[in-house]
Chains A and B, each alone.
Chain A
Amino acid sequence: MGIQTKISQPNTADTKQDKYTKIPFLVKARPYLIMAPSLLLTIGIMYPFIAAIFYSLTNYSFRSTSYKFIGLDNWIKMFTNYDFWHAVFVTGLYAISTTGTEMVIGLGIALLLSKDTRFTKILKVVLIFPLMVAPVIATLIWQLMTNNSVGIIEKFLNIFGVYNFPWSSSPKTALLTATLIDIWVYAPFVIILIVAGVQSLPKSPFEAAQVDGASAWFTFKTLKLPLLLPFMYIALIFRLMASIQEFGIIFALTKGGPGDTLMNLSISAYTKGFQFMKFGESLPYILFLWLIVNLVSKFLVGKWLLVQKQAAGH
């Protein structure tokens, strides 16, 4: 009996589905087969992750050809280290300050761009240019511009009687400077995403609202924003995930300084692993980072799919 049902079930299902919902040339394993090459390609590269977990339990170092298993020592050392918690704090602060500002600016500029004039048309094209410059190089250009002795921005500030603004060289303004560069590099990304959203808005609900005499703020809050939300989520996911791991801008700017002001998890891991050659000790930092990124992105992607459904009216 049991065997019979087991055999017959797929058969009936197959014949039914074949006719209406499924394409006939398929068998059950097919989706996996079709995906296999892509999975092999990426998972082949993901092997390092597993290796990283293993090496985080050893005292592996570039300094030596041998290593030994030391259990959770590296992990305990990390969690009991003040510098680690400082790095977690810096990571969070940097991610929030950059992503937050970029979202606000992105939304604001995108809305200002929504009116079609010749000026906005040109802007929509040229404003994405900063994305074409690799972040490390963008940082070097900014460093040259903010140089106290010769930088063009210093000359500009002199007009207003501001001299020797410390930029990245003071703990008080280093985060501000890094955030500024981050905004310059990545705000265009947020802007064009939300511009895309604005352009895809349906016309009719807004015309109806206008007829009803709804205030501009009310229309924005109840109509525009929910429809733009999926786009904002995509921007948020991409920016947050990248800024949590930001390396290039901070490293090119101050290497984590002055003092430990900008030491985030990525820079800490790199400094320990490559510069101090304590590979095993650096891995928990980066695995911890990876864990955070994975959890946060999973949560946000779930949210995104949800708001997308809501916006589509399901």
Chain B
Amino acid sequence: MNTKKLSLLTEIGRNAILALWAIFALFPLFWMVLITFKHDAEMYTTTFIFTPTLENYKAVLINTNYFKAFFDNIIVSGGAVLVSVLVGVPAAYALARYNFKKKEDLAFQILSFKFAPEILVILPLFMIYQKIRLFDTHIGLIWVYQLITMPLLIWVVRGYFEDINVEIEHAAQLDGYSWYHVFLKILLPLIKPGLVAAALLSFIFAWNSFTFPLLLSAFKVETVTVSVLKYLASDTVHYGQMAVAASVSALPEVILALIIQKHLVRGLSFGAVKG
């Protein structure tokens, strides 16, 4: 009886704390979506009760080149992840399979790129990009995004390669498969969960990047994170439009997160959770 009561109490306590946390975590998002329907004039005078309007959506999605920024963002983020996969998977393989001088140092150095202060990278890079004409190009951004996407990918995929028994490769080799067959037919399916996880997580990080696209592009390429802030003009503030731009820009990530929720956890745990 007593223990039953106690466990009921803990159950209530547990759910109460979780509910409180959920309110804290989700209310701002709810608020953000709510104000997308609010007219600028009502932004400061109403809370929950107001006349909903679709004007903000019209202003952002139809009257500006928001979708161009949206697709630019897909190109640069997607492109960056693709390059990271093509180049990073072999590197991860090398780090997993071979013992060579300074291996761990090298592996750490790759990881440390993820922690590099962006401001430090940007300025010299800006000058170089102007010289070699990579400024304001998709390729330029894809390249610099490697700092965001590659370290994560290499570290996650490396963990997966390490878990694959060498004998499997070896046996296939003896059966006369060429190395790329071994890679495509045997290794790739085994690392796929980690690869998908890391690629998707990298995509999210690249998607949210702000400083790089702000300063390394101008006329031709514009990403959606930069364009979101444009609704706070210097003379008029359009919180509603900003909220529309922010909400729409979060959509692909939310959809991805819902589809690949399990993978996301793997990516974030750096491959420690294989599942």
Residue numbers of A with Cβ under 8 A of B are 21, 23-26, 28, 30-32, 34-35, 37-39, 41-42, 44-49, 51-52, 55, 105, 108-109, 112-113, 115, 119-120, 123-138, 140-142, 144-145, 149-150, 152, 155, 184, 187-189, 192-193, 195-197, 199-200, 230-231, 234, 241-242, 245, 247-248, 266, 269-270, 273, 279, 283, 286-287, 289-290, 293-294, 297-298, 301, 308
* CA of A172 to CA of B184, assembled, Å: 59
The residues of B that contact A105 with a CB separation of less than 8 Å are: 21
Across the interface, B146 reaches (CB within 8 A) one of A45, A113, A125, A149, namely A45
Q: A134-B228, A234-B272 are in contact. Are A192 and B25 (CB under 8 A)?
A: no
**Does the CB pair A48–B120 fall under 8 Å?**
yes
Q: A-facing mask of B4-20, CB < 8 A → 1, else 0?
A: 00000000001101100
9 A-B pairs with C-beta separation under 8 A: A28-B100, A48-B121, A52-B123, A132-B253, A133-B246, A149-B44, A193-B265, A200-B274, A266-B119
Across the interface, B204 reaches (CB within 8 A) one of A23, A47, A125, A132, namely A132
**Does the CB pair B268–A196 fall under 8 Å?**
yes
The 4 closest A-B pairs by CB, nearest first: A48-B124, A31-B98, A38-B91, A51-B124
**Does the CB pair B25–A129 fall under 8 Å?**
yes
* CA of A14 to CA of B259, assembled, Å: 46
**Does the CB pair A21–B154 fall under 8 Å?**
no
A-B contacts at CB below 8 angstroms, number: 244
**Chain A: minimal CB distance from B27 (Å):** 8
Q: Tell me which residues from 147 to 189 in chain B have a Cβ below 8 Å from any Cβ of chain A.
A: 147, 150-151, 154, 166, 169-170, 173, 179
**Does the CB pair A41–B150 fall under 8 Å?**
yes
* CA of A265 to CA of B48, assembled, Å: 40
The residues of B that contact A51 with a CB separation of less than 8 Å are: 124
The residues of A that contact B204 with a CB separation of less than 8 Å are: 131-132
Across the interface, B143 reaches (CB within 8 A) one of A41, A128, A184, namely A41
The residues of B that contact A39 with a CB separation of less than 8 Å are: 91, 106
Q: Tell me which residues from 93 to 147 in chain B have a Cβ below 8 Å from any Cβ of chain A.
A: 93-95, 97-98, 100, 106, 108, 110-125, 128, 143-144, 146-147
**Chain B: minimal CB distance from A137 (Å):** 5
* CA of A290 to CA of B64, assembled, Å: 39
* CA of A142 to CA of B97, assembled, Å: 48
**Does the CB pair B29–A129 fall under 8 Å?**
yes
**Does the CB pair B25–A31 fall under 8 Å?**
no
Q: Which residue of B lies closest to A115 (CB)?
A: B14
**Chain A: minimal CB distance from B10 (Å):** 10
**Does the CB pair B94–A35 fall under 8 Å?**
yes
**Does the CB pair A230–B272 fall under 8 Å?**
yes
Q: Tell me which residues from 250 to 268 in chain B have a Cβ below 8 Å from any Cβ of chain A.
A: 250, 253-254, 257-258, 261, 264-266, 268
Question: Cβ of B269 < 8 Å from any Cβ of A?
Answer: yes
Q: A189-B268, A234-B270 are in contact. Are A23 and B166 (CB under 8 A)?
A: yes
Q: A-facing mask of B68-110, CB < 8 A → 1, else 0?
A: 0000000000000001000110110111011010000010101
Across the interface, A192 reaches (CB within 8 A) one of B208, B246, B268, namely B268
